[in-house]
Amino acid sequence: MAYNSYEDLSWSEVRDLFRKWREDNERRSEDVVSLWEAVLEEKQQKLGNERHLILEQVIIAALDCGQIDVADSCIMSLSAEFPGSLRVQKYRAMRLEALEQYDDALDLLDAIIRKDETNAAPRKRRIAIMKARGRTADAIKELCDYLKKFMSDQEAWHELCNLYLAEGDYAKAAFCMEEVLLHNPHSHLIHQRLGEIRYTMGGIENIEIAKSYYSQAIKLNSCNIRALYGLYLCCGHISNSKATLSKRKEAQKLGQWALSQITEKTRKKSKNDKSDKYIQALDQAFGNMDLKSN
């Protein structure tokens, strides 16, 4: 929601609002730029130590919105206070990115890395530029090199997973998500994502692994409908595979349970009167999970 009634907000209220958005990791770029220009820009000397954080917040928001003049003004303010700052140099590189002057941005980022090899931010910006230019293979190589130095960066592992998925390399994507799982073993979404990757890879062994991941996701969050659907699909494959009869019976029973949970939870939350019809069609599409003799 855009803020149009600026006269109702004091500079301190806008400051608190900006702080809340930062703490909640909300970009709200259009609102940030609008409120900055309408309220905070003329009152920035009252912001105290928080002024620098707000200037950085406005720079990123302005670049998101393509308002380069606003970003330039904030960068100049920071540069005047912190001449030679590598952090300010990073924002200059981001400005060049926004203008699609990628080669100049890469040169500036390389200069920052040479001055401080432990600085992760410019290395990530390099990867972002390669993605923006459609050079996925180069982005993967750069990200692999980055992870050799910063192995515990969960966001980087997640991003590498997405890049491998874009290239159709599911085995490497699964490895990356397993690294993320080591840092967040209680995240139902990560288990769900691993289940989806293994299911996509296909083959009875991967389907069995996917079933385990989906089951753990449901154990961690019983309301995860997507994981319930995934579990149902896995059980459908196993019950009609050449697995042993005991495994097929177990899969059939588990799949019927998953479908009953989907039906119950969908009926409670869905406002669509046809939800039961759709679930019945799903059940019929997989043959009601009848066991086939092999």
First-to-last alpha carbon distance for the chain, in angstroms, is 58
Q: How confident is the model at residue 49 (pLDDT cuts 50, 70, 90)?
A: confident
**113-168 pLDDT tens trace:** 999 989 999 999 999 999 999 899 999 999 999 999 999 999 999 999 999 999 99
Give me the number of domains the chain comprises. Answer: 3
Same domain, 263 and 204: yes
Question: Domain end: 42, 63, 82, which one?
Answer: 82
Residue 293 domain flag: no
Mean pLDDT, residues 19-45? 90
Same domain, 99 and 66: no
Residue 237 domain flag: yes
Q: Contacts for 214-219 with beta carbons within 8 Å, 24 or more apart?
A: 215/254, 216/188, 216/191, 217/188, 217/189, 217/191, 217/192, 218/188, 218/258
Mean pLDDT, residues 103-111? 94
Amino acid 190 reads: I
Q: What is the pLDDT of residue 273?
A: 60
**228-281 pLDDT tens trace:** 999 999 998 888 878 778 888 888 898 889 888 888 888 776 666 666 666 666
Residue 288 domain flag: no
CATH number of the domain to which 190 belongs? 1.25.40
Q: What is the pLDDT of residue 33?
A: 93
**173-192 pLDDT tens trace:** 999 999 999 999 999 999 99
Q: What is the pLDDT of residue 289?
A: 53
| Structural domain harbouring 223 | 186-267
Question: Domain end: 57, 82, 107, which one?
Answer: 82
Q: What is the pLDDT of residue 276?
A: 62
Residue 261 domain flag: yes
Q: What is the pLDDT of residue 1?
A: 46
Same domain, 88 and 153: yes
Residue 74 domain flag: yes
Q: How confident is the model at residue 66 (pLDDT cuts 50, 70, 90)?
A: very high
Same domain, 62 and 115: no
Buried b vs exposed e over 78-102: b needs ≥16 C-beta within 10 Å?
A: beeeeeeeeebbbbbbbbbbbeeee
Using CA atoms, how far residue 220 sits from 176, 211, 213, 285, 289, in Å, is 21, 14, 11, 28, 26
Amino acid 28 reads: R
Q: Which of 72, 83, 90, 2 is nearest to 38 (CA)?
A: 2
Same domain, 48 and 112: no
Q: What is the pLDDT of residue 245?
A: 81
Same domain, 89 and 144: yes
Same domain, 74 and 93: no
Residue 245 domain flag: yes
Same domain, 108 and 77: no
Question: Domain end: 55, 82, 109, which one?
Answer: 82
Residue 123 domain flag: yes
Q: Which of 181, 275, 286 is nearest to 225 (CA)?
A: 275
Q: What is the pLDDT of residue 240?
A: 83
Q: Is the pLDDT assigned to residue 292 strictly greater than 60?
A: no
Residue 281 domain flag: no
CA 23 to chain CA centroid, nearest Å: 17
Mean pLDDT, residues 27-51? 89
Same domain, 95 and 59: no
How many other β-carbons are positioned within 10 Å of the β-carbon of residue 15? 22
Residue in this structure with the two tokens 């009609």, named with its chain if needed: 240
Same domain, 219 and 250: yes
**217-228 pLDDT tens trace:** 999 999 999 999
Find out whether 58 and 32 touch, Cβ atoms under 8 Å: yes
**192-217 pLDDT tens trace:** 999 999 999 999 999 999 999 999 99
Helices (H), the chain: 11-23, 29-35, 50-65, 68-81, 86-98, 102-115, 120-132, 136-149, 154-167, 170-183, 188-201, 204-220, 225-239, 245-269, 275-285
* pTM of the full structure: 0.80
